[in-house]
Amino acid sequence: MTESKPKVSVQASAVTPGWLAAYVPDARRYDELLDEKGLIRPHWQPLLDQLTGDDARAVARRGLERTRRLIVENGVTYNVYADPQGADRPWALDPVPLLLLADEWRAIEVGLAQRARLLDAMLADIYGPQRLLSEGLVPPELVFGHPNFLWPCQGIVPRGGNWLHVYAADLARAPDGRWWLLADRTQAPSGAGYALENREIVEQVLPEAIRQLEVKRVTGVFSELREQLLHASPSYFPEILPFDKLKEGTIIDNPGAAFRSNWEWYDLSYRCEVDADATKVVSFAFDVGSPLMPGEWKRRGLPAQ
């Protein structure tokens, strides 16, 4: 998803013959492109103007070809572990992004941040005083019967007091335009890498549109990470650091990162918050874990040399 904040105010325009002549809206679903009167939503107009300024078919063909080429060149693949033929499948990416107005995304961001805080508080209670269990708000068998409940962590207080370092959600648009949350994601953030690749590729395929829509970017996160690692105790001298970009909102949470120091890889979790304009680091916290075994390097795609 791309947060759209067009520089120029544009009016909704009617669908013109030609490139959208065959487009038939489905009344059972929310239409991201057209409003209830069948007019193009204003925040889509700048992107559509760029996509249709030349021959639409040629623009679409060039965009798809460049997207596929960049995916292959960058080695972006995914695995379907239950499928014997599922290793290293090429990543599929639609080069035309989903555009959301900045105000709409802020409302989503507030709700997701609230939900993340709730889940973090639940983890702190489950591994701490367990009031949710004693008061009957959460069934004990749901917690203690879960294979991923970490018994040795009972009573531990993590550095910084945060249990949940990364949170993602599966969202879907309801027919009335509201948003549904379908699932919570709290695992190691492999999806963050795909999100980063998606943005990198779309920025190369549609550079003018990305600039015109004022898509937010963030700077200084990784230099801040390096500085804090250098001043950590014990001392580390990072040689290779993780690279994440802020896709939306103001916070990056990553508990499944790693960095290399003195030819050894270490587990790393960090949380970075930037200001509303995504130009200044407001806070930064991290936790260095144990050294990773060489077999784990290969499993996580970390270079040995």
5 pLDDT above the threshold of 60: no
Across 230-249, average pLDDT: 68
Burial of 138 (0-12, 13-18, 19+ CB in 10 A): middle
pTM strictly above 0.75: no
Residue pLDDT, tens place only, 118-140:
999 999 999 999 999 999 999 99
Residue pLDDT, tens place only, 147-202:
888 887 888 777 667 787 777 889 999 999 999 999 998 875 566 667 778 888 88
Q: Which amino acid is at 233?
A: S
